[in-house]
Chain A
Amino acid sequence: MKTARKFLRNGLGVIGAVIILVLILVAIFAPQIAPFDPNAQDYNKVMMQPDGEHLFGTDDLGRDIFSRVVYGARISIQAALISVGIAMLIGVPIGLLSGYYRGFWDEWVVMRSVDAMQAFPFLILALAISAVLGSGFGNAMLAIGIGFAPAFIRITRGQVLSLRNMEYIQAARSVGVKDARIIFRHILPNALNPIVIQATLAMASGIIAEASLSYLGLGVQPPTPSWGSMLNQAQTLMSVAPYATFYPGIAIFLVVLGFNLLGDGLQQVLDPRSRK
């Protein structure tokens, strides 16, 4: 496809895609890649500096940090995909319907709710929803997904608004084509571009949001290694084992960078307004 070739010419975007691919592979093949069981505690090897056997050192329970970082990739991938998936599942349909039918529901119910939700500090919203649902990874994903939904509603609706007035749409309506068909076959495909871009960027935010929630004490249950909860643990070790804070953070950084590069690359390809 022309788009694909265009994308490949964008150096940075390709780097991003490669990083994400590596992440997915690491997550899938974690058992093969990790030299140790991430939860295996060894009280004789507590807080050891990185060396040949333990590439990233060990934590205060003697667990191998490298293995934990590798398994942590699974959580991060899931955090990115599930939270954004939920956000899109909620946000896109509402945006489509709201933008297409307009009227009271759109203006006063949907858009005011979106305004209200976006007036909330995001982390606090996610925190509160998380507290209501109960701790655990799944609920944290739901909380983050709900927090991201307003942005998707806004973007989808914005696209629908500009598209619904196009001539071919109006023509279809006047001819009597069913609404559902119009929405799904004509509007949605053309609205996808900004949604996809937003999705990639949201995935980056989703990873950071999961890490933030883990930092605040919600999120995955111990002893599951997530990069965010590893950072939370490592905070107590800052004075004696600073390397424990370094590696999970680098991992988060690389993955988020990957998503951002990918999103940037996609934006250059898909968004007709940008040209560099």
Chain B
Amino acid sequence: MMFVVRRLLLTIPILLLVSIMTFSLIHMIPGDPARVILGQEATPEAYQALRTELGLDQPIVVQYFSWLGKVLQGDLGISITDRVPVSELIMQRLPATVELTIGTFLVAILIAFPAGILAAVRRGTWVDYTSTFTALGGMSIPSFWLAMMMIIFFAVNNQWLPASGYVPFLENPTQNLLAMILPCLATGLRESAVLMRMLRSSLLDVVSMDFIRTAKAKGLNEARTILGHALRNAMVPVVTTSGLMIAGLLGGLVITESIFSIPGFGRLIVESVFKRDYVTVQGAILVSAVLVVMVNLAVDMLYAVIDPRIKAGKGAGE
């Protein structure tokens, strides 16, 4: 319990720092939302009037603290350009990205586990070398290029799968899943390569440890040894990598979302930056940082589930 509380307390200064960094950064970008909103219809009077209306002519520090005050009361504010509550915008756009993340992760695991285990079991054989090479190749493919190639093959040349047309899951599950196939594959393939390498190397590390050798000496065959005993213990670095991966995907899916026309969270942030919608950017990045922290926390708690079984275990060191 103390562990969790201590961790949560530690994240507060980090979140504060993130919000200050975001605020400073986005205000340093030339141009402001009044300019973007008025576009070519801006007369100097309308521009100044809008700036005042949006509270942009107040000192930066005042703007920051008034935002912070509202956040502490649970109010993320109202989007400058869209005039709807930021929390509503986020709730509309977050599910798509979360679904994409989960889908990508599933694809990654489904490929990485069998491949990684196989490579470890058949270490040194051509199976191993091929899968290592394939993994390194997979890691190297730019996912947005892969996405374009897939669209050309699956959607343009042969109309097998849709290249867009996202609908929320609850509305039309079939269409939703169909639309998710290509994007999750495009991103998942690359992530699977990373996971597979990590799993293989971690399995091999564990396999050479004492207690495994004991098991082997007792007569268990190699495959069962690995699957039965080693796997559990090899999970630690894999869990770390997975955690980092998921945390990274939340904002990193921007380009995928853009190519497949998915109204997602990453795109929300990017579009808001371009529209200079300060309030939405602040809120969205804060939410993103909180999610990252939560994922990291979950990862650390997972160790507690897996770890106690290992006596000479590797700790998750810093």
Decide whether A and B assemble into one complex.
Answer: yes
A-side residues, CB < 8 A to B, are 12, 108, 112-113, 115-117, 119-124, 127-129, 131-132, 134, 158, 204, 208, 211-212, 215-216, 231, 234-235, 238-239, 242, 245-246, 248-249, 252-254, 256-257, 260-261, 264, 274, 276
How many angstroms from the CA of A119 to the CA of B25 in the assembled complex?
Answer: 15
Closest to A243 in B: B152
Taking CB atoms, residues of chain B closer than 8 Å to A276 are 123, 201, 204
Taking CB atoms, residues of chain A closer than 8 Å to B293 are 119
B144-A128 in contact (CB<8A): no
Closest to B133 in A: A12
Q: Does B136 contact A (CB under 8 A)?
A: yes
Main secondary structure of the interface of B (DSSP, over half): helix
How many angstroms from the CA of A20 to the CA of B72 in the assembled complex?
Answer: 51
A238-B142 in contact (CB<8A): no
How many angstroms from the CA of A120 to the CA of B14 in the assembled complex?
Answer: 11
Report the count of interface residues on B (CB-CB < 8 A): 48
Q: Does B162 contact A (CB under 8 A)?
A: no
B-side residues, CB < 8 A to A, are 13-15, 17-18, 21-22, 25-26, 28-30, 123, 132-133, 136-137, 139-142, 144-145, 148-149, 151-152, 156-157, 201, 204, 248, 250-252, 254-255, 259, 266, 269-270, 273, 285, 288-289, 292-293, 318
A158-B273 in contact (CB<8A): no
Give chain B nearest CB distance to A95 CB in angstroms.
Answer: 13
Partner of A256, one of B17, B140, B289: B140
Taking CB atoms, residues of chain B closer than 8 Å to A121 are 248, 250-252, 254, 266, 269, 285, 288
Give chain A nearest CB distance to B293 CB in angstroms.
Answer: 7
Give chain B nearest CB distance to A238 CB in angstroms.
Answer: 6
Taking CB atoms, residues of chain B closer than 8 Å to A242 are 152, 156-157
Partner of A246, one of B132, B144, B149, B255: B149
Given contacts A242-B156, A249-B149, contact A132 B136 (CB under 8 A): no
Give chain A nearest CB distance to B311 CB in angstroms.
Answer: 20
* Interface pairs (13), CB distance under 8 Å: A116-B289, A119-B293, A121-B251, A121-B266, A122-B252, A124-B269, A124-B270, A127-B273, A212-B255, A231-B148, A238-B148, A249-B148, A253-B142
